[in-house]
């Protein structure tokens, strides 16, 4: 049986390197073994004044993924010296690694530039209940710095009903909810944009658009050309190989109606396993570990199997 704990010894040594160069956290080298896992988990000690919202902006993470990775820690007052897990290790989504990939279930974007063997990843705010972000294949159709906002009539009606009427046009500036930059998609009415609010990145807060930290949307604007493909998926369970070992990463499924039962979650994981081309008879799955991962939904990749080839290699090395 595999122990369900991150390798904090190596994480702590790596964290010292990563924390000194914050921008590096956004750019991760692609796996050298043709695998699917990038990055490393980090562990830091919170300062007295830290909140998860502050730590999210500082370390390029969303609010809910920090909450999921740190059960039992108060997100508004972790406390001086409290160890906080930064979930900065990811299984890449099982879709073509090109352009932009958005996985709604993990509130996260991946950008695969054409000319470099790296991936850039950013937390996102997505559509709230009743205004869900769509699952679709689309593309970037326009890029606009300092955009004005033209609220749709449906949003104006909602604000008016709440006693907060909106003008027909909100000019660029600190009161503009689109922040300093927007990307138009070929999906009508949906945008990728910045925000005039720091809180909400990594949560279900928007009317369907994708919100980013302002520094992230500006960095993305420098790299992503018009015409870039955008694939939007909703995959709470991701599988990936790294050095012959199979990993599972589980996130809480998005719920708009009835709560999703544990039985339904287990069925979804089994379906993911059955449809993954790397899951073969040579892999010995740890089903107890799989159940624990699904129950935890902490977004951390955890080993659930090792191939017979990898086991044989270890045996030969040991003897």
From the number of C-beta atoms within 10 Å of its C-beta (0-12, 13-18, 19+), residue 281 rates as exposed
Is 229 found in the same domain as 104?
A: yes
Is 226 found in the same domain as 104?
A: yes
Instruction: Note whether residue 209 is domain-resident.
Output: yes
Is 108 found in the same domain as 224?
A: yes
Q: Quick one: pLDDT at residue 307? A: 61
Instruction: Note whether residue 181 is domain-resident.
Output: yes
Q: Quick one: pLDDT at residue 166? A: 75
Instruction: Note whether residue 3 is domain-resident.
Output: no
Strand-pair partners of 86: 42
Is 112 found in the same domain as 197?
A: yes
183 in Cβ contact with 191 (< 8 Å): yes
Is 104 found in the same domain as 210?
A: yes
Instruction: Note whether residue 41 is domain-resident.
Output: yes
26 in Cβ contact with 54 (< 8 Å): no
Instruction: Note whether residue 2 is domain-resident.
Output: no
Instruction: Note whether residue 1 is domain-resident.
Output: no
Domain count, the chain: 3
The question of whether 193 is a catalytic residue gets the answer yes
Is 67 found in the same domain as 137?
A: no
Half-sphere exposure of 74 (CA within 13 A, CB side): 11
Domain end call among 91, 111, 128: 91
- Check which CATH number belongs to the domain holding 28 and give it: 3.10.350.10
Is 229 found in the same domain as 241?
A: no
Is 206 found in the same domain as 107?
A: yes
74 in Cβ contact with 65 (< 8 Å): no
Domain end call among 233, 268, 285: 233
Q: Quick one: pLDDT at residue 165? A: 77
Active-site option among 193, 207, 216, 251: 193
Active-site option among 11, 120, 207, 209: 209
Is 194 found in the same domain as 182?
A: yes
Instruction: Note whether residue 243 is domain-resident.
Output: yes
In 17-132, the DSSP E strands lie at 27-29, 37-39, 42-45, 83-86, 89-91, 99-103, 108-112, 118-123, 126-127
Neighbours of 265 (CB within 10 A): 19
- Residues 6+ away with beta carbon under 8 Å from 238: 91, 92, 93, 94, 103, 106, 248, 249, 272, 301
What are the pLDDT tens digits along the chain (319 aa)?
Answer: 444 544 433 343 333 333 434 444 589 999 988 899 999 999 999 999 999 999 999 999 999 999 999 999 999 999 999 999 999 999 999 999 999 999 999 999 999 999 899 999 999 999 988 788 999 999 999 999 999 988 777 777 777 788 777 778 888 988 899 999 999 999 988 999 999 887 889 999 887 899 999 999 999 999 999 999 999 999 999 999 999 899 999 999 998 767 889 999 999 999 888 887 767 666 788 999 999 999 999 999 999 997 655 544 443 444 3
Is 176 found in the same domain as 246?
A: no
Buried b (16+ CB within 10 A) or exposed e, 16-36: eebeeeeeebbebeebeeebb
- Check which CATH number belongs to the domain holding 125 and give it: 2.40.440.10
Instruction: Note whether residue 80 is domain-resident.
Output: yes
Half-sphere exposure of 137 (CA within 13 A, CB side): 5
The question of whether 266 is a catalytic residue gets the answer no
Closest among 207, 156, 204 to 178, alpha carbons compared: 207
Q: Quick one: pLDDT at residue 158? A: 78
Is 218 found in the same domain as 141?
A: yes
Half-sphere exposure of 50 (CA within 13 A, CB side): 23
Buried b (16+ CB within 10 A) or exposed e, 97-121: eebbbbbbbbbbbbbbeeeeeebbb
Domain end call among 203, 233, 263: 233
Is 206 found in the same domain as 142?
A: yes
- Residues 6+ away with beta carbon under 8 Å from 16: none
Show the domain range for 134.
99-233
- Residues 6+ away with beta carbon under 8 Å from 253: 105, 236, 260, 265, 268
């Amino acid at each position: 049986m595999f122990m369900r704990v991150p390798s904090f010894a190596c994480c702590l040594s790596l964290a010292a390197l990563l924390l000194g160069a914050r921008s590096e956290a956004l750019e991760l080298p692609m796996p050298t073994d043709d695998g699917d896992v990038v990055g490393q988990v980090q562990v830091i000690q919170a300062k007295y004044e830290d909140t998860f919202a502050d730590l999210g902006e500082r370390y390029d993470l969303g609010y809910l993924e920090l909450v999921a990775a740190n059960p039992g820690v108060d997100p508004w007052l972790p406390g001086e010296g409290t160890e906080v897990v930064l979930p900065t290790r990811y299984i890449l989504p099982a879709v073509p690694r090109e352009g932009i990939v958005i996985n709604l279930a993990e509130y996260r974007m991946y950008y695969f530039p054409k000319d470099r063997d790296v991936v850039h990843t950013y937390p996102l705010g997505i559509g709230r209940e009743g205004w869900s972000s769509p699952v679709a294949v689309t593309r970037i159709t326009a890029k606009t710095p300092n955009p004005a906002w033209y609220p749709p009539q449906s949003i104006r009606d909602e604000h008016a009903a709440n006693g907060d009427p909106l003008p027909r046009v909100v000019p660029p500036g600190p009161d503009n909810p689109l922040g300093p930059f927007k990307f138009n998609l070929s999906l009508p009415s949906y945008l990728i944009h910045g925000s005039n609010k720091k809180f909400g990145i990594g949560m279900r807060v928007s009317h369907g658009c994708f919100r980013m930290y302002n520094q992230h949307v500006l960095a993305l604007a420098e790299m992503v050309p018009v015409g870039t493909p955008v694939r939007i998926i909703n995959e709470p369970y991701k599988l990936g190989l790294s050095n012959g070992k199979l990993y599972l990463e589980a996130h809480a499924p998005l719920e708009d109606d009835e709560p999703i039962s544990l039985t339904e979650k287990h069925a979804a994981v089994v379906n993911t396993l059955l449809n993954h081309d790397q899951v073969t008879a040579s892999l010995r799955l740890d089903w107890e570990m799989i159940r624990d991962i699904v129950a935890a939904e902490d977004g951390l990749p955890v080993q659930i199997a090792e191939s017979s080839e990898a086991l044989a290699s270890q045996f030969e090395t040991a003897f």
